[in-house]
Amino acid sequence: MKTSGTMIKVGWPVHFKYERPHSGGVTDIVLAALVFAHVLAAMGWLGGALLTTLAVGPNLRKLTQAASLEFNARVLPSMVNFTQVAAALTILFGLALLGYVYSQDSTYFSSIAGMDASIGIVLALITAAVAFSLTIPSFKKISKLAAKAIEGGQQAPPQEMMALAKRARTGSMIALILLFATLAAMVAAGVS
């Protein structure tokens, strides 16, 4: 059944497949480039979140206090900047992709795949809000406090840094769970 350039297939038992017509040429290149950039940035965001939450955080507590301060002052800022840029690029390319898809087919978001993508978009925006309002600021403050402690000749982290670390861990875990939910929604959009 064709309707205004779109096709909906219904299979048995009941599986809906929404197909966007391929116009060929430049538009397919634009779509492919936006999808590639969005997925690449999202891989960086998810990878940075996984590394920070599941590898660095738990193992940082195994270091001496002086080594922990050194890591937080010298390495953590680069990790946070990488993840922050990856998150911002994911959202930027995702919004560009959203605009492009909508400009090509305004009915996409009423399809099953479009509804799954909409759920993913909402989850990604909530994740970004958590990351940019809770997690990233906490990590940045930790880095600054660690650098000040090292400059002041301290060997132990300040108490304020410990409270921020707990807040950053909580924010990281929430963001990671939301990123996995976002990934699930986007994969569902891609295969439905």
Q: CA–CA separation, 41 vs 89, rounded Å?
A: 6
- Cβ 52 vs Cβ 79: under 8 Å: yes
Q: Is the pLDDT of residue 17 over 50?
A: no
Mean pLDDT of 170-183: 95
Where does the pLDDT of residue 162 fall: very low under 50, low under 70, confident under 90, or very high at 90 and above? confident
- What are the sequence ranges of the domains in the chain? 24-191
Model pTM score = 0.79
Residue found by looking up tokens 């966007």 in the block: 20
The mean pLDDT value for 104-111 works out to 86
pLDDT at 11 over 80: no
